[in-house]
A and B are shown apart, each in its own frame.
Chain A
Amino acid sequence: MPDLLSVKNLKIEATSYPPGEPPKTVTLVEGVSFDVEKGKVLGLIGESGAGKSTIGLTALAYGRGGVRITGGEVKLNGEDLLKLSPAGIRKVRGCKVCYVAQSAAAAFNPAHRLGEQVIEASLKHGIMSRAEAEKRALYLFRVLGLPNPETFGQRYPHQVSGGQLQRAMTAMALCPNPELIVFDEPTTALDVTTQIDVLAAIKHAIEETHTAALYITHDLAVVAQITDDILVLRHGKMVEYGTVREIIEEPKQDYTRALVNVRGTRRDEAPDQSDTLLKVENITAGYSNGFKVLQDVSLHLPKGQTLAVVGESGSGKSTLARVITGLLPPQDGTISFDGKPLPKALKGRSNDELRRIQMIYQMADTAMNPRQTVRDIIGRPLTFYYGMRGARKTERVKELLDQIEMGGRFADRYPAELSGGQKQRIAIARALAAQPELILCDEPTSALDPLVAEGILKLLLKLQEETQVSYMFITHDIAIVRAIADSVAVMHRGKLVRFGPKSKVLSPPFDDYTDLLLKSVPEMEIGWLERVLATRRMESAGN
């Protein structure tokens, strides 16, 4: 079969303007070659900065910001896109090649109805008449399983949910009958239970329309469900290129092997016999407009152990952490810490009570002052809680930096000079500086690449062994729960649906929600999606 898209020896550069220095040319992608046959799906996988999206967009001859394609060729049906005029490129975009963005919520124009936006490219390129385009949009809304397909196009983007928008974006890409679609992390921003529906819809739609696709993601388990071939990228270079089976089952490169095994860490739970550190009883909390975010939540956490709080966005996980820290005083219920009741509001707590509970946030970036050096960031709690100054403080900062496996040479850096994983390590060091007994971790790894995230998890486990600190670990990722938790709390719509030791919570019999949650987590296994969908169909047929 002839290749639809053939990329050879691609080189992509960008110019960066560091302050106070002459502009620098940075090579983002070098020596990347791949082919996509008609009707086939190629997965581009790698961590952030690997150049996945940049490569994906070359199929539309598009460079974001100051990105330039400086070498190689991108042939679509034998025609080199890089040699086309701007008008020629416009005839390819939205006609032969379409794009599905990561955040459909941002990629839809808020000022126009969804239907108009879905059919716009088809009309502008003269591919079909308005009536034909509307008919096709309706067909696609049906194929993608959107609710009320007849009236869906009448709605505005803010009137539908995130998962529906992502499917509408897929419909928009499919509408002009393109030969190739570039999916740029289409499910990354979605909850795991929504992701599976969108994945199934995309897969079904691709099969139905025989469209070829480039599928970009950082999640190997997702890509294994949907693609025929996989190209593994790192730092803008090819690591490994092969069929799904070759990559998942017989990876040849170390990096690929690490990606495949990244979710392999598991830990047995510790027995629940030590003293209770944190006890939360019948907490109800909400906002002044009467909306209750948490309802009657009770749980407890023994000393030196890890409690994982799992649930999708909006389930109240982060609010629970805010209640425990005192930032949001609960309307009802009690919190006791180390056997003593804890004042509800932050203002009522003593310095020592504050010191014993610390927090790590999802975005280490926004939780640090960009104008302070690492020394100041870690040193602040040392001065605040322990009155340390001068040489003693410097010494302790160095100790903490060693503890998080970074070393004293980082003390004079600013947050902007650190990578995402390093920033999160500094945030951990800052929490440790107070020598707390409990650290509330609010999705500290979900913004990080899988391998970096794994490093952070291992660090947290090591620190727990060394200091006997307890963690309340908020996450939506079941794999993390398996890796680090002793006990698990499953939250759904502000209520606690399941709580207990990990082995009990994660084994049957399940309640409906936990069952759905567990089954929605993609597994690194070819055919997983089909299997889950088949069981779902059987269940609904059985009912």
Chain B
Amino acid sequence: MTGGGPAHGPELTATAAAGDSPQSAGVAGSVASTGTPAIEAAPSFWAKFSKSSPLVALIVQRFALSIGLLFAVSLMIFGGVEALPGDFATTYLGQSATPQAIENIRKDLGLDQPATTRYVQWLGGAIKGDFGKSWASRNSVSEQIGKRLGNSLFLAFFAAIISVPLAVGLGMLAVQYRNRLPDKIINVISLAAISLPEFFVGYLLILFFAVKMGIATFPATVYDSMTLGQRLSAIALPTATLVLVVLAHMMRMTRAAILNVMSSAYVETAELKGLSGLRIIARHAAPNAVAPVINVIALNLAYLVVGVVVVEVVFVYPGMGQYMVDAVTVRDMPVVQACGLIFAAFYIFLNMFADILAIVANPRLRHPR
């Protein structure tokens, strides 16, 4: 699934880039041209609306685009699963597969109906939160996923609240000491972290902290009966691995975005006001570097939810990624589809929030003339 998420990346970042353009005229113009058909049906109203409150108009537009994109993705997931080679019935029956038995199971699972009917049924259920029953365990997919998703989000949440402030802070520090020793140390460490594969980082951490020093818990498996403290201690190493993996990307983007702003005339003005270096970075440079940084943060947060499968396997952590991989091996399609759709939804909506935040951060849109 690591590859599945980023595949949607480019189209999303492309729309984000269009929205970030500082010319409010350009942004307002793009509303009309990229609006969904429903919006274009009433051009005069929409044109008026987007002029009087461009902020709300852009947010509404982003939301509509995200919903549309999610539908397109659901179609692709369903089509992709249909196109997969192999068959659940054959895998399930193994040696005892007779044509009659296979036929019975296919009928039992509703596979004899046309694909369009099954798609509409599946999507109708998914909108209501019902992803059907797992073919392998005959249990409700939603119920099983709920617990796994909770575990994944628990891990992602702690990785995020450590890595995001750390990345932004280190990025600002690197700007303050640019091309001097602290900047170079931060760069070398973060580049090393991003260059090592995450399973390798994971094993290194296990080697040092669990095996040699014995201060960390391994494996990181969590149970229902655990207290919060026990859980936190269990996820310490996977969280550290994820932080190291996503940190460098966000840190370097923060550094680049702020450095870009640092050469502008208003930063010189701030310097000539006699302000201190850190105040210039935090108050005068950072607010104008928000849009690109937010986008990178969103991509990495999505990765924390969507792309953790390797880390989950290394640390034997019962999250969504492992659940999905298991389902793929036994061709348990309802589970694969549900996981795919949920991952896509996370990816799309995190990017949507990033877009909206970047729009809100632009004073030209917040305060039209």
A and B: interacting chains: yes
Chain A contact residues, CB within 8 Å of chain B: 60, 62, 64, 89-95, 98-99, 101, 103, 106-112, 120-121, 124-125, 155-156, 158-159
What residue of chain B has the Cβ atom nearest to residue A105's Cβ? Answer: B265
One digit per residue, 1 when the CB lies within 8 angstroms of any chain A CB and 0 when it does not, for chain B 202-227 equals 00000000000000000000000000
B254 CB, nearest partner CB in chain A, Å: 16
Q: Is the C-beta of B82 less than 8 angstroms from some C-beta in chain A?
A: no
Answer whether A110 and B363 are a contact pair too, CB < 8 Å, given A94-B275, A125-B274.
Answer: yes
Within 8 A of A (CB), among B245-302: 264-266, 268-276, 279, 283-284, 287-288
Residues A107 and B271 in contact, CB atoms below 8 Å apart: no
Q: How far is the CA of A41 from the CA of B269 in the complex (A)?
A: 22
Residues B265 and A110 in contact, CB atoms below 8 Å apart: no
Answer whether A93 and B269 are a contact pair too, CB < 8 Å, given A110-B288, A156-B363, A158-B369.
Answer: no
Residue with the greatest number of chain A CB neighbours at <10 A, chosen from B22, B270, B273, B367: B273
Residues of B within 8 A of A94 (CB): 272-275
Smallest CB-CB A-B distances: 10 pairs: A94-B273, A93-B274, A94-B274, A106-B265, A111-B287, A121-B273, A90-B274, A109-B266, A99-B272, A107-B269
Residues A62 and B271 in contact, CB atoms below 8 Å apart: yes
Within 8 A of A (CB), among B324-369: 361, 363-364, 367, 369
Residues B274 and A95 in contact, CB atoms below 8 Å apart: yes
Residues B268 and A112 in contact, CB atoms below 8 Å apart: no
Residues A120 and B367 in contact, CB atoms below 8 Å apart: no
Residues B270 and A109 in contact, CB atoms below 8 Å apart: yes
Residues of B within 8 A of A109 (CB): 266, 269-270, 284, 287-288
Residues of A within 8 A of B284 (CB): 109, 111-112
Residues B367 and A156 in contact, CB atoms below 8 Å apart: yes
Q: How far is the CA of A123 from the CA of B363 in the complex (A)?
A: 23
Answer whether A110 and B266 are a contact pair too, CB < 8 Å, given A156-B367, A158-B364.
Answer: yes
Residues A93 and B273 in contact, CB atoms below 8 Å apart: yes
Answer whether A107 and B274 are a contact pair too, CB < 8 Å, given A158-B364, A158-B369, A159-B369.
Answer: no
Residues A62 and B274 in contact, CB atoms below 8 Å apart: no
Residues B367 and A159 in contact, CB atoms below 8 Å apart: yes
One digit per residue, 1 when the CB lies within 8 angstroms of any chain A CB and 0 when it does not, for chain B 169-200 equals 00000000000000000000000000000000
B270 CB, nearest partner CB in chain A, Å: 7
Residues of A within 8 A of B24 (CB): 158
Q: How far is the CA of A83 from the CA of B276 in the complex (A)?
A: 19
Q: How far is the CA of A91 from the CA of B273 in the complex (A)?
A: 9
Q: How far is the CA of A92 from the CA of B275 in the complex (A)?
A: 11
A86 CB, nearest partner CB in chain B, Å: 9
Residues A62 and B272 in contact, CB atoms below 8 Å apart: yes
Q: How far is the CA of A95 from the CA of B272 in the complex (A)?
A: 10
Residues of B within 8 A of A125 (CB): 274
Residues of A within 8 A of B367 (CB): 155-156, 158-159
Q: How far is the CA of A514 from the CA of B9 in the complex (A)?
A: 57
Q: Given A92-B274, A108-B269, 15 more contacts at CB 8 Å?
A: A62-B272, A90-B274, A98-B272, A98-B273, A101-B268, A101-B269, A103-B265, A107-B269, A108-B266, A109-B269, A109-B287, A110-B22, A111-B361, A156-B363, A156-B364
A107 CB, nearest partner CB in chain B, Å: 5
Residues of A within 8 A of B369 (CB): 158-159
What residue of chain A has the Cβ atom nearest to residue B269's Cβ? Answer: A107
Residues A111 and B272 in contact, CB atoms below 8 Å apart: no
Residues A111 and B363 in contact, CB atoms below 8 Å apart: yes
Q: How far is the CA of A108 from the CA of B363 in the complex (A)?
A: 13
B95 CB, nearest partner CB in chain A, Å: 69
Q: How far is the CA of A62 from the CA of B287 in the complex (A)?
A: 25
Residues of B within 8 A of A110 (CB): 22, 266, 288, 363-364
Residues A158 and B275 in contact, CB atoms below 8 Å apart: no
Residues of A within 8 A of B269 (CB): 99, 101, 107-109
Residues B274 and A121 in contact, CB atoms below 8 Å apart: yes
Could you write out 27 A-B pairs with CB less than 8 Å apart? Answer: A64-B268, A90-B274, A93-B274, A94-B273, A94-B274, A95-B274, A98-B272, A98-B273, A99-B272, A101-B265, A101-B268, A106-B264, A106-B265, A107-B268, A109-B288, A110-B363, A111-B287, A111-B288, A112-B283, A112-B287, A120-B275, A121-B273, A121-B274, A156-B363, A156-B364, A158-B364, A158-B367
B66 CB, nearest partner CB in chain A, Å: 26
A16 CB, nearest partner CB in chain B, Å: 18
Residues B273 and A106 in contact, CB atoms below 8 Å apart: no
Residues B364 and A107 in contact, CB atoms below 8 Å apart: no
Answer whether A90 and B276 are a contact pair too, CB < 8 Å, given A108-B266, A109-B269, A110-B266.
Answer: yes
Residues of B within 8 A of A112 (CB): 283-284, 287
Residues of B within 8 A of A156 (CB): 363-364, 367
Residues of B within 8 A of A107 (CB): 265-266, 268-269
Residue with the greatest number of chain B CB neighbours at <10 A, chosen from A103, A107, A159: A107
Q: How far is the CA of A155 from the CA of B369 in the complex (A)?
A: 9
Residues B275 and A90 in contact, CB atoms below 8 Å apart: yes
Residues of A within 8 A of B270 (CB): 109
Residues of B within 8 A of A89 (CB): 274
Residues of A within 8 A of B283 (CB): 112
B190 CB, nearest partner CB in chain A, Å: 27
Q: How far is the CA of A158 from the CA of B276 in the complex (A)?
A: 26
What residue of chain B has the Cβ atom nearest to residue A116's Cβ? Answer: B283
Residues of B within 8 A of A90 (CB): 274-276
Residues B274 and A124 in contact, CB atoms below 8 Å apart: yes
Residues of B within 8 A of A111 (CB): 284, 287-288, 361, 363
Q: How far is the CA of A309 from the CA of B272 in the complex (A)?
A: 40
Residues of A within 8 A of B364 (CB): 110, 156, 158
A536 CB, nearest partner CB in chain B, Å: 29
What residue of chain A has the Cβ atom nearest to residue B289's Cβ? Answer: A111
Residues of A within 8 A of B264 (CB): 106
Q: How far is the CA of A90 from the CA of B271 in the complex (A)?
A: 8
What residue of chain B has the Cβ atom nearest to residue A122's Cβ? Answer: B273
Residues of A within 8 A of B275 (CB): 90, 94, 120-121, 124
Q: How far is the CA of A99 from the CA of B273 in the complex (A)?
A: 8
Residues of B within 8 A of A108 (CB): 266, 269
Residues of A within 8 A of B279 (CB): 124
What residue of chain B has the Cβ atom nearest to residue A125's Cβ? Answer: B274
Residues of B within 8 A of A98 (CB): 272-273
Q: How far is the CA of A211 from the CA of B367 in the complex (A)?
A: 35
Q: How far is the CA of A64 from the CA of B271 in the complex (A)?
A: 11
What residue of chain B has the Cβ atom nearest to residue A110's Cβ? Answer: B363
What residue of chain B has the Cβ atom nearest to residue A160's Cβ? Answer: B369
Q: How far is the CA of A508 from the CA of B276 in the complex (A)?
A: 57
Residues B265 and A60 in contact, CB atoms below 8 Å apart: no
Residues of B within 8 A of A120 (CB): 273, 275
Residues of B within 8 A of A64 (CB): 268
Q: How far is the CA of A124 from the CA of B282 in the complex (A)?
A: 15
